[in-house]
Amino acid sequence: MSNFFEKSDLSRNDAESIISDTLQKCDDGELYLENSKSESILLDDNKIKNSSYSSDLGFGFRAISDEIVAYSHSNEISKNSLKQSSENLKSTLKSAKGVYNHEIPKSNKKYYENINPIDQKTLNEKIEILNNVNKYLRTKDNNVKQVTANFLGEQKSIEIIRSGGETLTDIRPLIRFNVTVMLEKNGRKETGVYGIGGRNSYDSYLKDDNWKNVCDEALRIASVNLESKPAPAGEMKVVLGPGWPAILIHEAVGHGLEGDFNRKKTSAFHDLMGQKVASEGVTIVDDGTIDNRRGSLTIDDEGTPTEKTVLIENGILKNFMQDRLNARLMKTRSTGSGRRENYRHIVLPRMRNTMMLNGNHTQDEMIKSVDKGIFAVSFGGGQVDITSGKFVFNCTEAYEIINGKIGSPIKGATLIGDGPSILKEVSMVGNDMMLDPGIGTCGKAGQGVPVGVAQPSILINKMTVGGTKL
């Protein structure tokens, strides 16, 4: 556990009294302290290109009055620095006349261990695996022209001190292992990317030479793309594979169900609570409580324990994801979804692990039912325009479907759809739900946070495929 006051002229008592004094007429607020350690080791072009280590320390002081948020952050944990922040907050909220809400739910559940993954494996061991990855891939296929592999490891310690001195803490491990391979054959180049990770030690993901499976998958995707032909252009049926393709759910409906956009009425979903927004059989939850998942959190960045929040149940819109601010203004409770990238940023309602639950169809049934369409197995990034509801994502592995059969692979194309209507176009939900491999980062308002997704295979009646073949 980090002791944030150990090497500072600021004592915990000083801090507590500055906090209570600053927040006395505010509705909410806290001091958030963070100490993170992270490492990055990168193999690229046959060499260890980069080995770096970073330590980041700082605080963010937040005061909220009605709808107004005042925030100040600094790297210097000192009396002066905290007092200056306090003055900044007070000058913004001169006319505050709220009553501080001391209530915050408690839970003893933890979803990951207090470990520092960086220290649990030596640099030499990590370098050895990266070199093995390089050797393995280049030996396995002569067309391999480039291999990039990297380890990212992090331990983040946070402490939240609320007015009155209530203190909440969390220690969060996070790792990621990634392989990118580029193939070249007859002058054509294509890449394949695969990665794994979560809130656990490196070894829990890499045991039994599991790095080989990551390599094989990256190589398989690149090989498929080497044979791909131009993607079709226009509206057609789309079958999505299980697991990572659930970023469609994340983009298409997840963001639109975050509390802030709905309080501000800028989300296409803001007036649809209790209404049918998806086909029958479609249930979507956002769950922060799955052990060791990338998007899981013991407490959110306001100190609220996370939970499994039902967003859409059997097609009906049930809940938005809330932080404390938006919950208070919308007269509901926080769902433990208040998150921030780090102490430099304000809290926003964000997703954790967003999942569509199982239905009772098989992927085979879906493929067989399609005369002309595409089968999308893996994606790169996605993006959504909350207001118009339009969202996109980029296929990194997809095939055409002709007369109920999977055909040739097609080149990476963008798929575009309309968030509020897409779930009504889901005509079959599969029984093969899978979690993603632990690689997602979600961006919102310039802040990236780790997230997870999951879904079974699904059949969508129509989406626009952005290929080049008319």
Partner 1 sequence: MIKNQEYLLEKASYCLDLAKKLGAKDSTVIVSNSISESVNFRNKKLDESNRSDNLAIGITTYIGKKKSSISSSNLLKENLDTLIEKCIETTKNTPEDEFNSLPDKDLLAKEIKDLNLYDDTHIKNENKIEYLEKLEASATSDKKIVNTESSFTEDKSNFILANSDGFSKGYKSSSFTASSVIVAKDDQSMERDYEYTSKCHLQDINGAEELGKSAAEQTIKKLSPKKIGSEKIAIIFDKRIAKGILSTFAGAISSSAISRGTSFLKDQINKKIFSDEIDIFDKPDILKGLGSRSFDSEGVKTNTLKLVEQGVLKHYLIDTYNGKKLNLKSNGRCGGTSNLYFDNGNISYKDLLNSNPRCLYITETIGHGSNIVTGDYSVGANGFLIENGDFKYPINEITIAGNFKDMFKNITLANDLEFKYATNSPTMMIEGMVVAGK
Name residues contacting partner 1, limited to 76-105 (CB under 8 A).
76, 81, 85, 88, 91-92
Q: Which of residues 250-279 bind partner 1 (CB under 8 A)?
A: 264-266, 268
Nearer to partner 1 (CB atom), residue 72 or residue 337: 72
Of the chain, the end-to-end C-alpha distance in Å amounts to 59
**Which of residues 20, 411, 427, 432 is near partner 1 by CB under 8 A?**
411
Cβ at position 208, least distance to partner 1 in Å? 26
Q: Which of residues 212-251 bind partner 1 (CB under 8 A)?
A: 231, 233-235
Q: How far apart are CA 187 and CA 249, in angstroms?
A: 37
If binding is defined by CB under 8 A, does position 414 make contact with partner 1?
yes
**Which of residues 111, 202, 375, 391 is near partner 1 by CB under 8 A?**
391
Per-residue contact track with partner 1, 114 to 143, x per CB under 8 A? ---------xx--x----------------
Q: Is the dihedral of CA 125, 130, 132, 133 positive or negative?
A: positive
Q: Which of residues 142-181 bind partner 1 (CB under 8 A)?
A: 145-146
> What interhelical angle do 12-23 and 79-92 show, nearest 10?
10
Nearer to partner 1 (CB atom), residue 36 or residue 363: 36
Nearer to partner 1 (CB atom), residue 357 or residue 392: 392
How many residues contact partner 1, by CB under 8 A?
Answer: 80
- Chain-centre distance of CA 456, in angstroms? 18
Nearer to partner 1 (CB atom), residue 111 or residue 379: 379
Say how many residues make up the chain. 470
**Which of residues 388, 408, 431, 441 is near partner 1 by CB under 8 A?**
388
**Which of residues 413, 428, 454, 459 is near partner 1 by CB under 8 A?**
413
**Candidate ranges 158-166, 170-178, 182-190, 273-281; the one touching partner 1 (CB under 8 A):** 182-190
Q: Which of residues 353-372 bind partner 1 (CB under 8 A)?
A: none
Count of CB atoms within 10 A of residue 411's CB? 15
| Residue 67: DSSP 8-state | T
**Which of residues 83, 156, 276, 390 is near partner 1 by CB under 8 A?**
390
Residues 6+ apart with CB under 8 A from 177: 149, 150, 151, 152, 195, 196, 197, 202, 205, 206, 211, 214
If binding is defined by CB under 8 A, does position 418 make contact with partner 1?
yes
What are the structure tokens assigned to 363, written together?
Answer: 């992927």
Nearer to partner 1 (CB atom), residue 48 or residue 310: 48
**Which of residues 168, 215, 386, 433 is near partner 1 by CB under 8 A?**
386
* Neighbouring-strand partners of residue 453: 354
**Which of residues 144, 282, 367, 392 is near partner 1 by CB under 8 A?**
392
Q: How far apart are CA 195 and CA 175, in angstroms?
A: 11
- Which one, of 343, 35, 353, 59, lies nearest residue 171 by Cα? 35
DSSP 252-315: IIIGGGBHHHHHTT-STTTT-TTSB-S-TT--EEEES-STT-TT--SB-TTSPBP-EEEEEETT
Q: How far apart are CA 411 and CA 395, in angstroms?
A: 8
395 within 8 A of 225, measured Cβ to Cβ:
no
> What interhelical angle do 210-226 and 123-140 show, nearest 10?
40
| Residue 468: DSSP 8-state | S
Nearer to partner 1 (CB atom), residue 107 or residue 441: 441
| Residue 424: DSSP 8-state | G
Q: Which of residues 269-328 bind partner 1 (CB under 8 A)?
A: none
Nearer to partner 1 (CB atom), residue 360 or residue 468: 468
**Candidate ranges 20-28, 62-70, 280-288, 327-335; the one touching partner 1 (CB under 8 A):** 62-70
**Candidate ranges 11-19, 64-72, 107-115, 291-299; the one touching partner 1 (CB under 8 A):** 64-72
If binding is defined by CB under 8 A, does position 3 make contact with partner 1?
no
Cβ at position 72, least distance to partner 1 in Å? 4
Q: How far apart are CA 398 and CA 421, in angstroms?
A: 23
Residue carrying structure tokens 């990951």: 112
Nearer to partner 1 (CB atom), residue 58 or residue 430: 58
